[in-house]
Structures are given as C-alpha cells and as structure tokens.
Amino acid sequence: MPEPNKPAVSYAQYTGLALLLPVATFVGYVIGGLLDRAFHTHFLYIVFLILGSVGGFVELIRQVMRDTRNE
C-alpha cells in the first residue's frame, strides 16, 4: 500500500473525489434512461438521476470523513 503522505497519492485520491459526483450522477441518468426506454415511462431517469447524485454525495462525505479522521 502506498504511503498516504506522498503527493501523487493525495493527488490521485482528490482527483477521484472530483470525478465521483459527476460520474455517479451520469450513471444514474443512464440507468434511468434505459429503464424508461424498457418500460415505456418518462420519469425513471429523474428518479435515478437523484439517486445517483445522492449516492455520489454519500460517498464523497464518507471519503472526507475518512480523510479527516486519519489526520
């Protein structure tokens, strides 16, 4: 396991956090869109968009809490 004090490791972790929320939101949107197409509805993409955003925020908060606890 790499040392947590190395700048490259910190850069990689925070870059991952920066990408986490948009990717989670996009994945939720895509899943909802596919389900809308499969079930011929027009609202599931909104539900899964919100679920993806909430999931991204939850993981972001967990990682920040983990980082502040280790310092």
In a domain, 13, yes or no: no
Residues contacting residue 35 through CB under 8 Å, at least 6 positions apart = 41, 44, 45, 48
Instruction: Name the residue range of residue 38's domain.
Output: 19-70
Which of 66, 54, 53 minimizes the C-alpha distance to 14?
66
* 4, part of any domain: no
Give domain status of residue 11, yes or no. Answer: no
Confidence of residue 8 (pLDDT cuts 50, 70, 90): confident
pLDDT for residue 17 is more than 90: no
Q: Are 29 and 45 in contact (CB under 8 A)?
A: yes
Note whether residue 66 is domain-resident. Answer: yes
Tell whether 25 is covered by a domain. yes
The reply to whether 14 falls in a domain is no
- pLDDT tens across 21-52, in order? 999 999 999 999 999 999 999 999 999 999 99
